[in-house]
């Protein structure tokens, strides 16, 4: 997969440069241009996914599935946004606080 050549950041571009750099997003139905990954792209994508999983495992993290009431999840998401942290970080904080309160930390 080739990367775009280095270009200056959007906030440093003139109006004309910005319009040129973002013209691809002006079109409708861009999803029609999507295609399946080639075998090379698929292999690269899988390698990236493996690295991400390994990084999480190396940090001692594990993905779990938890059922949560919708209203509680909405409140959790809103609080995480307000605190500018991820939802999983908010849940981890809550679990740590509960464990500490119970004397389990």
Q: How confident is the model at residue 1 (pLDDT cuts 50, 70, 90)?
A: very low
Per-residue pLDDT reduced to its tens digit, 35-84: 999 999 999 999 999 998 888 888 888 888 999 999 999 999 999 999 99
Domains of the chain, residue spans: 11-101
| DSSP code string of 32-91 | GG--PPPHHHHHHHHHHHHHHHHHHHHTT---------HHHHHHHHHHHHHHTS-HHHHH
Give the predicted TM-score (pTM) of the model: 0.51
- In a 13 Å sphere around the CA of 96, the CA atoms on its Cβ side amount to 6
What is the model's pLDDT at position 3? 54
Average pLDDT over residues 75-104: 95
């Amino acid at each position: 997969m080739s990367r775009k050549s280095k270009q200056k950041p959007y906030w440093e571009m003139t109006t004309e440069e910005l319009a040129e750099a973002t013209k691809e997003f002006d079109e409708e139905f861009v999803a029609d241009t999507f295609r399946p990954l080639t075998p090379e792209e698929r292999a690269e994508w899988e390698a990236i996914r493996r690295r991400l999983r390994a990084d999480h495992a190396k940090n001692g993290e594990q993905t779990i599935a938890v059922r949560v009431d919708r209203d509680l999840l909405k409140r959790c998401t809103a609080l995480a946004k307000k605190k500018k942290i991820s939802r999983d970080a908010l849940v981890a904080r809550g679990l740590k606080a509960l464990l500490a309160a119970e004397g389990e930390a």
